[in-house]
């Protein structure tokens, strides 16, 4: 059976939207990475670290996977019919993405560990809220946010330990 033009348009629109969500998440990651790069090799290395501090090499692959999962989650929610719930869910998604970016600026750019701790707690709350609202719209979208929430929970504990030690 031949494809209809509306099906092709819909698939093209979906693919473009996915590319935009992925691009936006990786843009945030890239810009945050630029801010982070100078401090990782200098200031961050000079900090007293807790025994559970992960090795530096783990951060890039973990964050790459997390940004991809969060982009797919948001895209899956975006694909649902427009509604107040969808609008709210995507607003929460963009809020947590902004908070994610802000943490890098505060922790690595400004080197303010205590302020970054308060900010990462706000980020974690926003991620959990996003995951819950996504879950209500589509379970897979909510589930895709769970590893991110778990990683940021670990990062929050690490941020707290760094604050106490330094």
At 42-56, the pLDDT tens digits run 999 999 999 999 998
Query: Among 144, 157, 154, which residue's Cα sits nearest to residue 65?
Result: 144
Q: How far apart are CA 93 and CA 91, in angstroms?
A: 5
Q: Please tell me the total count of domains within the chain.
A: 1
Q: What CATH number is given to the structural domain containing 103?
A: 1.20.1260.100
Calculate mean pLDDT across residues 24-48: 94
| pTM check: above 0.75 | yes
At 85-114, the pLDDT tens digits run 999 999 999 999 999 999 999 999 999 999
Q: How far apart are CA 63 and CA 144, in angstroms?
A: 13
Cβ atoms of residues 64 and 57 within 8 Å: no
| Domain range enclosing 90 | 5-165
Q: Which residue has the tokens 């698939």?
A: 11
């Amino acid at each position: 059976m031949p494809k209809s033009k509306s099906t092709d348009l819909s698939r093209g629109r979906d693919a473009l939207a996915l590319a935009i969500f992925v691009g936006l998440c990786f843009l945030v990651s890239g810009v945050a990475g630029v801010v982070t790069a100078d401090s990782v090799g200098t200031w961050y290395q000079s900090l007293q670290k807790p025994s559970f501090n992960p090795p530096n090499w783990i951060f890039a692959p973990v964050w790459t996977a997390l940004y991809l999962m969060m982009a797919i989650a948001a895209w899956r929610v975006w694909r649902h019919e427009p509604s107040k719930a969808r609008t709210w869910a995507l607003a929460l998604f963009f809020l947590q993405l902004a908070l994610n970016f802000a943490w890098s600026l505060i922790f690595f750019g400004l080197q303010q560990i205590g302020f970054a701790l308060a900010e990462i707690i706000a980020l974690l709350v926003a991620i959990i809220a996003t995951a819950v609202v996504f879950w209500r719209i589509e379970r897979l979208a909510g589930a895709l946010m769970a590893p991110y929430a778990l990683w940021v929970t670990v990062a929050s504990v690490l941020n707290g330990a760094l604050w106490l030690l330094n």
